Amino acid sequence: MMRILVLGAGAIGGYFGGLLLHSGADVTFLVRRRRRNLLKKNGLVIHTPDQDYDIAVADHLVEQVDEPYDLVILSCKAYDLEEAIKAITPAVGPDTHVLPLLNGLRHYDVLDETFGAEKILGGLAKNICTMQKDGSIRSWSRPGNVTFGPRSEEQLDFCRQLEELLLRAPISVTHSSHITSALWDKFCLITVLGAINCLLRGSIGDIMATRNGRDIALAIIDECAGTAKAAGYPLSEASLDYLQSSMTREGSDYTSSMFRDMELGKSVEADQLVGDMLIRAEDAGLSTPFLKAAYCTLQTYMLRREKS
């Protein structure tokens, strides 16, 4: 059976790792002391719109690893990547594959350089979820989706085995043969949503109730879509339609995890999402005033947070 190590049992790692374990997969969570203690005490509870799961994880927790696994699922925040790489290094042997589920793109450069691109699959998560104070995971998606795929021919066999395994869990699974395009689509979606929410400080519905919210949302979509096009990964018509309708829907309570983190006073992935999109736009010679304003807002937030 495929041996899987999941780094981080937060919202994304806890949800997908927990549901994989529930489906009979061989899953071990690599967690830090505080998270380990909480999971030992409370178990891993996952609340979904249709069902709650109470998963016994006490025997599936480690604070460090010393042997290779077949698959390492990486589900930390981007600002924790460096430490996470140190923690998983002993688990990455010659035949190991790594599936990152982080938002953004920059982590691929770092992972490729550290472990070799042949080991790093393409992956992303679509799941509106959060880790609650008591350590349980709440997901509002029906169900959360993992999209993954090979970044080179050599990874195809492993991806087929992985698809078989993922399909046994109560999650939605997309095995993409164009994973880099899918990563760009998700990068645009999360940057657009995060920039709108964090710049204008509200859910999509809150913002659509204002005089100019819709115009600003559409301008941010244009800036990100232009950047994707310049990078050689233009958004499909369907993706663009989806962005234009979901980001301007009246009454929508849509928020990104970055905005929810900001509301809670937590650290945010500003550099890896809005900041990175902005750098790529500038490199392509594009004018992106709204992304600049959004990044400036996020940086100001982070600077004030560091001071307090």
Ligand X SMILES: CC(C)(CO)C(=O)C(=O)O
Ligand Y SMILES: NC(=O)C1=CN([C@@H]2O[C@H](COP(=O)(O)OP(=O)(O)OC[C@H]3O[C@@H](n4cnc5c(N)ncnc54)[C@H](OP(=O)(O)O)[C@@H]3O)[C@@H](O)[C@H]2O)C=CC1
State which of residues 189, 195, 208, 221 lies at the interface with ligand X (CB under 6 A): 189
Q: Which does 231 bind (CB under 5 to 8 A by kind): ligand Y, ligand X, none?
A: none
Site for ligand Y in 256-275 (CB under 6 A): 257, 269
Which residues are within 8 A (CB) of 84 and not within 5 positions of it... i.e. 6 or more apart?
A: 7, 8, 74, 76
Establish if 185 lies at the interface with ligand Y (CB under 6 A). Answer: no
State which of residues 2, 61, 128, 218 lies at the interface with ligand X (CB under 6 A): 128
Establish if 10 lies at the interface with ligand Y (CB under 6 A). Answer: yes
Task: Write the single-letter amino acid at 9.
Answer: A
Mapped onto helix, strand or coil, the DSSP state of residue 236 is coil
Nearer to ligand Y, 80 or 223 (CB): 80
DSSP letter at 70 equals S
- The answer to whether the CB of 235 falls within 8 A of the CB of 228 is yes
Nearer to ligand Y, 32 or 178 (CB): 32
Burial 111-139 (b: 16+ CB within 10 A, else e): beebbeeebbbbbbbebbbbbeeebbbbb
For residues 60 to 99, the per-residue mask of contacts with ligand Y, x marking binding by CB under 6 A and - elsewhere, is ---------------xxxx-x--xx--x------------
State which of residues 22, 35, 106, 151 lies at the interface with ligand Y (CB under 6 A): 35
Query: 186 an active-site residue?
Result: yes
Nearer to ligand X, 98 or 190 (CB): 190
Establish if 203 lies at the interface with ligand X (CB under 6 A). Answer: no
The catalytic position among 41, 86, 186, 292 is 186
Nearer to ligand Y, 129 or 165 (CB): 129
- My answer on whether omega of the bond before 143 falls inside 30° of 0, hence cis, is yes
Minimum CB separation from ligand X for residue 203, in Å? 11
Which residues are within 8 A (CB) of 202 and not within 5 positions of it... i.e. 6 or more apart?
A: none
For residues 96 to 125, the per-residue mask of contacts with ligand X, x marking binding by CB under 6 A and - elsewhere, is -------x----------------------
Minimum CB separation from ligand Y for residue 211, in Å? 30
Task: Write the single-letter amino acid at 254.
Answer: Y
- Nearest partner of 55 among 47, 66, 63, 65, judged by Cα: 47
Strand pairing of 71-74 and 129-131? unpaired
Site for ligand Y in 121-140 (CB under 6 A): 125, 127-131
Establish if 272 lies at the interface with ligand X (CB under 6 A). Answer: no
- The dihedral built from the CA positions of residue 58, 7, 178 and 141, taken in this order, carries a sign that is positive
- The answer to whether the CB of 137 falls within 8 A of the CB of 8 is no
Establish if 294 lies at the interface with ligand Y (CB under 6 A). Answer: no
Q: How many CB atoms lie within 10 A of CB 180?
A: 16
Site stretch for ligand Y (CB under 6 A), options 31-39, 160-168, 226-234, 243-251: 31-39
- The answer to whether the CB of 9 falls within 8 A of the CB of 33 is no
Cα–Cα distance measured from residue 139 to residue 42, given in angstroms and rounded to the nearest whole number: 18
# residues contacting ligand Y (CB under 6 A): 31
Establish if 249 lies at the interface with ligand X (CB under 6 A). Answer: no
Establish if 256 lies at the interface with ligand X (CB under 6 A). Answer: yes
- The dihedral built from the CA positions of residue 116, 117, 118 and 124, taken in this order, carries a sign that is positive
Half-sphere exposure of 75 (CA within 13 A, CB side): 29
Catalytic residues: 186
Residues making contact with ligand Y (CB under 6 A): 7-13, 30-32, 34-35, 75-78, 80, 83-84, 87, 101-103, 125, 127-131, 257, 269
Residues making contact with ligand X (CB under 6 A): 103, 126-128, 189-190, 193, 256-257
